[in-house]
């Protein structure tokens, strides 16, 4: 069973990870019974599968994902939304109004204008046509307050943490409401500017140190220190 690295070691594209009867999973590929990495990241060996947790990537839409995007265009029957992805998304008017769309009655720019941020869910995407969005469910729709920050989509799982451990800690410690888009856009809204500032600081720290261990504890410590005004 030849493995060529230890779990959690940093690998680069083209690194030979394993040879033999293994399954090539995320960010790897198989060629001649050899498994190579396709992205920079931390290698993981789980039983017979080999995968790499990427350190940087870009967002490829996936049906069912929650994303945060910016309206870039108002069209005749919907909006074009930039979702921080190689593909721009389409939000159709009927998916926003919750009733059939009548062009003679509804003025779309009254609902969403250019520059507005929206929390949306991806309905469908197959790479041959642009992804389509919906904002009809609870918790979706126009962003009215808070701060938007951008992180690498590769770091989103780290921000959420195992079973939400990291994000729950962040919410509790900072008293902020945090909405994490799978596309790397995070919305932070708290009661005060100061709460938001600390949450943003914590998110930036997570992004910077995503590939290190014991991160949740260090971030908790940092937040508490910041809350006490840097004294301690």
Task: Name the residues that contact other proteins, by CB under 8 A.
Answer: 10, 12-16, 27, 29, 31, 36, 38-40, 54-58, 60, 86-88, 127-128, 152, 154, 208-209, 211-212, 218
Alpha-helical (H) ranges within the chain are 93-97, 156-160, 165-174, 193-208, 215-227
Q: In the complex with other proteins, which residue's Cβ is closer, 6 or 107? A: 6
Q: Cβ closer to other proteins: 62 or 172?
A: 62
Minimum CB distance to other proteins, residue 127 (Å): 6
- Of 58 and 191, nearer to other proteins (C-beta) is 58
Q: Taking the complex as a whole, how short is the minimal distance between the CB of residue 58 and other proteins, in angstroms?
A: 6
Choice between 39 and 227, CB closer to other proteins? 39
Buried b (16+ CB within 10 A) or exposed e, 15-37: bebbeeebebeebbeeeeebbbb
**Could you tell me the smallest distance in angstroms from the CB atom of residue 222 to other proteins?**
11
C-alpha triplet 187, 193, 194: angle, nearest 5°: 110
Place of tokens 């940087």: 56
Q: Please, what is the minimum distance in Å from the beta carbon of residue 73 to other proteins?
A: 12
Handedness of CA 189, 194, 199, 201 (dihedral sign): positive
Residue 144 and residue 191 in contact, taking contact as beta carbons nearer than 8 Å:
no
């Amino acid at each position: 069973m030849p493995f060529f690295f230890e779990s959690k070691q940093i690998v680069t594209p083209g690194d030979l990870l394993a040879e033999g009867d293994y399954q090539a999973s995320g960010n790897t590929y198989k060629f001649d019974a050899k498994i190579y990495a396709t992205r920079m990241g931390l290698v993981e060996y789980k039983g017979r599968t080999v995968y790499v947790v990427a350190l940087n990537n870009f967002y490829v839409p996936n049906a069912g994902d929650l994303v945060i995007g910016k309206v870039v265009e108002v069209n005749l029957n919907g909006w074009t939304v930039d979702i921080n992805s190689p593909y721009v998304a389409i939000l159709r008017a009927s998916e926003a109004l919750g009733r059939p769309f009548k062009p003679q009655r509804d003025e779309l720019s009254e609902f969403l204008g250019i520059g507005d941020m929206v929390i949306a869910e991806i309905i469908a995407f197959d790479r041959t046509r642009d992804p389509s969005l919906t904002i009809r469910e609870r918790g979706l729709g126009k962003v009215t307050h808070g701060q938007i920050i951008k992180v690498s989509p590769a770091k989103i799982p780290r921000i959420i943490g195992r079973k939400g451990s990291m994000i729950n800690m962040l919410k509790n410690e900072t008293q902020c409401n945090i909405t994490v888009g799978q596309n790397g856009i995070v919305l932070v809204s708290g009661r005060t500017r100061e709460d938001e500032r600390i949450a943003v600081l914590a998110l930036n720290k997570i992004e910077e140190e995503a590939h290190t261990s014991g991160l949740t504890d260090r971030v908790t410590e940092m937040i508490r220190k910041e809350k006490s005004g840097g004294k301690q």
